[in-house]
Every structure is written in structure tokens, then in C-alpha cells.
Structure 1
Amino acid sequence: MANEITDRNNLMRNWFNNDSWMNNFPSIFDANFPESSYLKTDIKETDKDYQLKVDLPAVDKKNLDITYNNDILTIRGHRDSFDDHNDKNGDMIMSERSSGRFSRQYNLPEVDPDNVKATYDNGVLQLTLPKLKKDVDSGHHIQIS
């Protein structure tokens, strides 16, 4: 047990003395605010639609809520807690997995909300948000009087 404690202390000492400590700062910050590290997203825009891929590992699709209102797509949900986070024997030396509620909003203007398609497979949410068809203004002739 003493060697385990020494190993943990050395791990922490090396981490704090590492020259790249400041490079790790964002990940430290994310660990305290899991919602900022959730919902890693790719967004592609075409002439016809927006296409999103959102990583949501270990989230059950029944725990997701997706809305579109006033040009804002909102994805909300929660991930249940992990049973193995309870460390009765003191064996856990690091834990980065998070649980709880999350939410993220995306500004995607002029979407046809009636035709949005969503699929969820293997922890990846895919959304296709078709753009509203714009009426082409053919122009108007104005008479000068």
C-alpha cells in the first residue's frame, strides 16, 4: 500500500513539475465543467442543409431532448452515473468520465423544422437540418410617372 501511495504522489509531483502543465490547463478546466467537454460536434453546411455529428458516448437516446426554436438548435440530455466510480478499496488513481446533465446550443438560421432528421447510433447523434427554400424574387418593373 505504501508503494501505491508513493506512486500516486510521484505521479502528481511529475504532473505539476511538467513543463507542459499550462498546455493541460483546458483539460483540467473541462474536468470541473463536464458540459464543456461534452457534445464534441462537426457541422457541415451545404446549399440545402446543415449536417451535424455530435459525439455522445454512453448516453441512452431516451435521455436526449432536441429542439429547434428561433434559429437555435438545442441538444439537452443526461448521462447516468457510473457504478464503478465508488472506490471502496482506494484503487482509483484517476477518473475522467463524467455523468450528469448537459446542454449545448447552435445558431443555425433559416431551418425547416418540420423536416429535420435525427439518428443515433454507437454514441453518435447525426442531424440533418434542411434549409428553408427561399422564394426567388423575379424583380418588379417600376413605372416612372
Structure 2
Amino acid sequence: MTNEIMDRRNDIRDWMNADPWMNGFSSIFGDNFPTNDTLKTDIKESDTDYAVRVDMPDFDKKNIDISYSNNTLTVSGHRDNFADHNDNKGDVIMSERSTGRFARQYHLPAVDENNIEANYNNGVLDIKLPKMTETKDNSHHIEIN
């Protein structure tokens, strides 16, 4: 079911990127509007867990927040200005790297919230979200004598 939800989301995103007016929408707001390149994500699902991998280049680990609530994983963070963006001499020809606050949400149901693990290394955030194990019925039938 989760894959069906993600497929629908990807179909909408693909449609927006294919439409010439929607594809240029971010340029209306200037360089600080998050682009499609922000927080690129891969999600894998197995019988036991979800594995989420988010590209977050040039983010400082202390500026990344991860939360899980109501079946939704939220990854957010902010990236400060780049040291080499200073253009006092007027020599920057093009600048495509974005700075500012970024966030993404992912619907991942039935996760064991207490055992979520995250690791950030070389600009990639890896999150493992174990699925809830089915609770077994601990009751048993007692015969009446």
C-alpha cells in the first residue's frame, strides 16, 4: 500500500515537472525557493522495516531534525549561506546551490517509533524505521471444572 501512495505522489511530481509553466514556477521566486533537487530521497520497504536515504549535501548534522508522528516521517533542516557565495568582485557567473530551510514528509505507517535509527555521513542521511511486530494474543482458554 505504501508503494501505491508513493507512486501516486511521483506521478503528480512527474506531471508538474513535464508541464512547462509548472517547471519554471520556482524561478519566479528567485534563488531561495527550494528546487526539485532539494532532499532527493530513496525509500525501500521490506517485511521488517523501511529504509529511507535522503541526500542532504552541505548540511551540518546539528541543523537536521527528524521526527515521526501520526504515521509520518518528517525530515527538515537548514543550510546556511555558502562561504564562496560572496560576490564582492562581481565574478560569480552562476549559482544554483540553495540555502535556507528545507523539509520533506513521508507517509510510513505502523513504525516502531522507539527503535528508529538515523545516521548522517558524507551528506547522506540514512534512517531505518522498523515496522511494528504483530502483537500475539497472549490469552488462552481455561477449562471450567
TM-score by length of 2: 0.71
Describe the SS at the equivalent of 1:47. coil
CA distance in 1: counterparts of 2:94 and 2:32, whole angstroms:
14
Q: 1:29-108 maps to which residues of 2 (within 5 A)?
A: 29=26, 33-34=33-34, 36-108=36-108
Structure 2 unaligned runs (5+)? Answer: 1-18, 138-145
**1:88 offset after TM fit, Å?**
1.5
One-letter amino acid of the structure 1 residue matched with residue 39 of structure 2: L
Higher mean C-alpha deviation, range 34-43 or range 116-125 = 34-43
Give CA deviations for 1:26-68 in whole Å, capped at 9, x if unaligned: 3773755226431100000000000011000000110011000
Residues 1:67 and 1:34: Cα distance change in structure 2 (over 3 Å):
same
CA distance in 1: counterparts of 2:125 and 2:75, whole angstroms:
10
Describe the SS at the equivalent of 2:111. coil
Describe the SS at the equivalent of 2:91. coil
How many residues were matched structurally?
117
CA distance in 2: counterparts of 1:28 and 1:40, whole angstroms:
19
> What residue in structure 2 maps to residue 142 of structure 1?
none
Structure richer in helix, relative to its length: 1
Higher mean C-alpha deviation, range 35-44 or range 100-109 = 35-44
Cα RMSD, aligned residues only: 2.4
CA distance in 1: counterparts of 2:40 and 2:103, whole angstroms:
12
Identity rate, percent: 56
One-letter amino acid of the structure 2 residue matched with residue 77 of structure 1: G
CA distance in 2: counterparts of 1:101 and 1:83, whole angstroms:
17
Runs of 4+ more than 2 Å apart: 25-33
